[in-house]
């Protein structure tokens, strides 16, 4: 037989194996839970369908009925959980359902090169080391920059409103949250609110476009091939990481300010100086603070502005009347309408919808009868959990802040209750609950307060009401109208 024949045969066998691995889940996956057809995950890329429409049509019924499904995501088959009781089990059994981020799942990928091994993705002893270093800085922060930046944000909106009736919120919100996180946690000023063209911001936008190309996110193994565009992506990512850490060093190390300041970046620098962590670990955690610290608040703030504008004749008026005479931002913690509105928004649109970053360390059982093999990736569908009718009642799909309670004590009690039983997983749960929750909620309160003091907000008639097609969850391409309040 000719060499061409053997090459052709090898190619066909390899192609058939790849197709088989994509179309069908592994034979050792549990057979008593349904399989979501492999093509479903590609539909938002091929159609105008957003991720809530996708969920309603293909995922909701089997996930609600069985509590878990098999789904193709990130070039592999995974177990996806939606039942809050199963989520609680995953959060509780941290050593069995171990955190396994991109640095372990796809270590060769551009996204793994970007975020590295960090406090969100690490497991075991390494995670405990990061937590011990970073918790104080993440919990005890100065929120003064939020108030100052909210005023600058409002000024940007006024400038944009003069030029055009409707304002595209995505770029402006990103500029706000970048300045917030850099000034609150990292110890330097990104400068995006006072300068439209910041080199580091433009670099960040460039690498995000490179990293989050749908083809390479869906099939990350393509990063193993020497494709010129991906080689450039890796170079750009490494350069961004270096420049970001140089910014922190310039502000905190060269002036020895890390010894006096309480930024979480100062804590990381002290740990590095004491040789408790390596320079790569220092870099990885500074990068993840920037990534998670601006992307997640950006999503939540976008959703908050959407719901405020959508309910401008009801909830927007209630909240404005509640906050219009507040001078001390500390008093915002006790406001009924404002806090219930923020919590309901986080429930309806959890910023990170599908999270698959846990891997089983041994063959195990989920619930009474779902047997999961070792080395299987298990994730959770936050939207499914936060819309579970057994926990939220028949109005689970309705936006209704009143469900949280009539006073702040009841609101916070219900917040803790739903977090504890995992029916509110927007900030994750268990020992690995989000350490930045307090910071993010403070950022939302202060920003919303300033916006409503200055503007009446409505949705642009030109905007199509839909959410993002995949991944992070929030209104897509939100356009709003702002009218300055006459009382100011």
- Express each pLDDT in 146-182 by its tens digit: 999 999 999 999 998 777 779 999 999 999 999 999 9
In tens, the pLDDT along 283-323 reads 999 999 999 999 999 999 999 999 999 999 999 999 999 99
> Residue range 114-143: average pLDDT?
94
Q: State yes or no: pLDDT of 5 exceeds 70.
A: no
pLDDT at 385 over 90: yes
Residue 12 has pLDDT above 80, yes or no: no
Mean pLDDT of the chain: 91
For residue 222, is pLDDT > 80?
yes
Place of tokens 């995992």: 422
Q: What tens digit of pLDDT does each residue of 58-82 get?
A: 999 999 999 999 999 888 899 999 9
What number is the average pLDDT over the span 71-97?
93
For the segment 323-344, the average pLDDT, to the nearest whole number, is 95
What percentage of the chain exceeds 70 in pLDDT? 93
Delimit the domains of the chain by residue range.
22-484
- Residue 427 pLDDT: 85
pLDDT confidence tier of residue 338, bands split at 50, 70 and 90? very high
> How is 112-179 classified by DSSP, letter by letter?
HHHH-S-TTT--HHHHHHHHHHHHHHHHS---HHHHHHHHHHHHHHHHHHHH-SEEEHHHHHHHHHHH
| Distance (Å, whole) CA 121 – CA 214 | 22
How does pLDDT run across 470-487, given as a tens digit for each residue?
Answer: 889 999 999 999 999 875
Inform me whether the pLDDT recorded for 376 exceeds 60. yes
Residue 488's pLDDT band, with cuts at 50, 70 and 90, is very low
Q: Comparing C-alpha atoms, which of 87, 84, 91, 85 is closest to residue 387?
A: 84
Q: How far apart are CA 92 and CA 103, in angstroms?
A: 23
- Regarding beta strands 377-381 and 455-459, do their DSSP bridges make them parallel or antiparallel, or are they unpaired? unpaired
Element at 484 (helix H, strand E) = strand 479-484
pLDDT at position 18 is: 55
Q: Does domain 22-484 have CATH number 1.10.630.10?
A: yes
Q: Best-predicted range by mean pLDDT among 243-252, 262-271, 398-407?
A: 398-407
Specify the pTM.
0.93
């Amino acid at each position: 037989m000719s060499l061409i024949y053997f090459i052709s045969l090898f190619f066909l066998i390899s192609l058939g194996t790849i197709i088989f691995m994509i179309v069908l889940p592994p034979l050792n996956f549990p057979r008593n839970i349904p399989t979501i057809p492999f093509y479903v995950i590609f539909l938002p890329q091929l159609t105008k369908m957003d991720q809530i429409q996708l969920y309603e049509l293909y995922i909701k019924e089997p996930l609600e009925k069985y509590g878990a499904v098999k789904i193709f995501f990130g070039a592999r088959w995974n177990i996806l959980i939606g039942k809050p009781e199963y989520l609680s089990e995953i959060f509780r059994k941290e050593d069995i359902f171990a955190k396994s981020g991109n640095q372990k799942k796809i270590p060769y990928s551009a996204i793994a090169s970007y975020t590295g091994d960090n406090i969100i993705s690490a497991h075991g002893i390494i995670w405990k080391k990061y937590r011990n270093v970073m918790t104080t800085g993440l919990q005890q922060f100065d929120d003064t920059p939020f108030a100052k930046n909210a005023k600058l944000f409002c000024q940007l909106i006024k400038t944009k409103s003069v030029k055009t009736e409707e304002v595209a919120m995505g770029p402006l919100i990103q500029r706000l949250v970048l300045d917030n996180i850099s000034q609150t946690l990292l110890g330097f000023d990104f400068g995006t609110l006072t300068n439209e063209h910041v080199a580091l911001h433009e670099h960040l936008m460039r690498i995000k476009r490179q990293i989050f190309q749908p083809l390479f996110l869906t099939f990350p193994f393509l990063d193993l091939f020497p494709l010129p565009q991906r080689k450039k992506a890796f170079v750009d990512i490494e350069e961004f990481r270096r420049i970001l850490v140089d910014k922190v060093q310039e502000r905190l190390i060269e002036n020895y300010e890390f010894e006096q300041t309480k930024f979480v970046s100062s804590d990381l620098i002290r740990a590095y100086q004491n040789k408790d962590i390596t320079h790569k670990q220092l870099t990885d955690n500074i990068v993840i603070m920037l990534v998670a610290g601006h992307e997640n608040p950006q999503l939540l703030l976008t959703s908050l502005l959407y719901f405020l504008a959508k309910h401008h004749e009801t909830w927007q008026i209630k909240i404005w009347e509640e906050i219009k005479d507040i001078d001390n931002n500390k008093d915002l913690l006790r406001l009924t309408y404002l806090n219930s509105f923020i919590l309901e928004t986080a429930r309806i649109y959890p910023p990170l919808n599908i999270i698959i970053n846990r891997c089983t360390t041994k063959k195990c059982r989920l619930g009474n009868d779902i047997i999961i093999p070792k080395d299987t990736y298990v994730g959770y569908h936050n939207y499914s959990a936060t819309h579970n009718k057994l926990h939220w009642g028949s109005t689970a799909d309705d936006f209704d802040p009143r469900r949280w309670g009539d006073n702040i004590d009841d609101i916070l009690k219900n917040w803790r209750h739903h977090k504890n039983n995992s029916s509110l997983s927007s900030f994750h749960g268990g020992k690995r609950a989000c350490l930045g929750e307090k910071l993010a909620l403070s950022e939302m309160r202060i920003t919303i307060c300033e916006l409503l003091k200055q503007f009446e907000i409505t949705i642009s008639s030109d905007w199509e009401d839909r959410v993002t097609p995949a991944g992070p969850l929030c209104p897509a391409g939100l356009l709003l109208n702002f009218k300055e309040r006459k009382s100011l």
